[in-house]
């Protein structure tokens, strides 16, 4: 059996989390149109009869880590993940976006890592715009190149086969029966928080900056009704952001809560009552 750890790295919003979700076969990482929705490294397990792969989805690398504490922490988390016991590194690039300063920062990190590296060209389902030629020079620095569409998905089995070429034979590192579904490193509360935060980004799009977090205060099963009661707060940095999240007549917060509740019910197979409020923490 081939076993090992595979880390994904790239600039924000290249589709790393979507790729992990579709490789593993269920939702494990937050995804949204906003870049940098992954705030910390997420571990997820792919498994078949011949292999077990632990994927490490790192935060996207920002061009200027000095611009904010959040971007600096994201870059540090990505670098730290690559220094751990990783067997293969996947460098995810989006051919529909021009190369930028962030790519140079990623390459600087990658060149210090003496591990097999695969260049993954994502979003091949999109023909235009394409800046594929701007990434052509990278091919000589990598052990292999695979073109995929994480969202469709296309060529994911080809990518897995290529990864397996670089993994050693060994015993399973993780026993799936001992883990909750989805099989990843998030606690239940953190999984719920990330789920709600993702839905806030999806609903609000570009209106809200990244100073938004979610805190789960209570998860309790009500025996008589067999419904899980979840109490959570969306915390923003200013009163005007609170109004944005709540929306006219409370419509936005209702949509965010409804989307999060439905996905959590599918993930857990349980009926859920989500008590969601918004608070300001300057």
Domain spanning 188-280, CATH class: alpha beta
Q: Which residues sit opposite 9 in a β-bridge?
A: 91
Q: pLDDT higher for 163 or 262?
A: 163
pLDDT surpassing 80 at residue 146: yes
Cα separation of 100 and 173, whole Å?
Answer: 37
Computed over every residue of the chain, the mean pLDDT equals 79
Among 41-50, 58-67, 183-192, name the one with the lowest average pLDDT.
Answer: 58-67
* Ranges for all domains in the chain classified under CATH 3.30.300.20: 188-280
Percent of the chain with pLDDT over 70: 75
Homologous superfamily, domain 2-178: P-loop containing nucleotide triphosphate hydrolases (3.40.50.300)
- Read off the tokens for 11: 């600039």
Which pLDDT band, with edges at 50, 70 and 90, does 60 fall under? very low
* Ranges for all domains in the chain classified under CATH 3.40.50.300: 2-178
pLDDT of residue 41: 57
Is the pTM of the predicted complex or chain greater than 0.85? Answer: no
pLDDT surpassing 50 at residue 76: no
Which pLDDT band, with edges at 50, 70 and 90, does 62 fall under? very low
Which pLDDT band, with edges at 50, 70 and 90, does 63 fall under? very low
pLDDT of residue 179: 43
């Amino acid at each position: 059996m081939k076993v090992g750890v595979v880390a994904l790295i790239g600039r924000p919003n290249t589709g790393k989390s979507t790729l992990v979700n579709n490789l593993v076969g269920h939702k494990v990482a937050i995804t949204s149109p906003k870049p940098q929705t992954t705030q910390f490294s997420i571990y997820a397990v792919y498994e078949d009869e011949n292999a077990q792969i632990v994927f490490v989805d790192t935060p996207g690398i920002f061009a200027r880590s000095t611009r904010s504490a959040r971007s600096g922490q994201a870059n540090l988390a990505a670098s730290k993940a690559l220094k751990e016991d990783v067997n293969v590194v996947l460098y995810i690039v989006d051919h529909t976006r021009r190369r930028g300063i962030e790519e140079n920062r990623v390459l600087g990190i990658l060149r210090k890592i003496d591990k097999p590296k695969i260049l993954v060209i994502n979003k091949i389902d999109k023909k235009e715009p394409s800046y594929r030629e701007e990434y052509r020079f990278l091919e000589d620095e990598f052990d292999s190149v695979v073109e995929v569409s994480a969202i469709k998905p296309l060529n994911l089995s080809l990518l897995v086969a290529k990864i397996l070429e670089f993994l050693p034979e060994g015993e399973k590192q993780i026993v799936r029966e001992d883990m909750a579904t989805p099989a990843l490193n998030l606690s239940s509360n953190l999984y719920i928080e990330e789920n709600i935060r993702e839905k806030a980004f999806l609903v609000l799009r570009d209106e809200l900056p990244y100073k938004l977090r979610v805190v789960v205060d209570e998860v309790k099963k009500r025996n008589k009704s067999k419904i899980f009661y979840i109490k959570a707060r969306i915390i923003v940095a200013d009163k005007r952001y609170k109004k944005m999240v709540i929306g006219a007549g409370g419509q936005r917060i209702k949509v965010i809560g409804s989307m999060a509740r439905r996905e959590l019910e599918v993930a857990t197979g349980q009926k859920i009552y989500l008590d969601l409020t918004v608070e300001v923490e300057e």
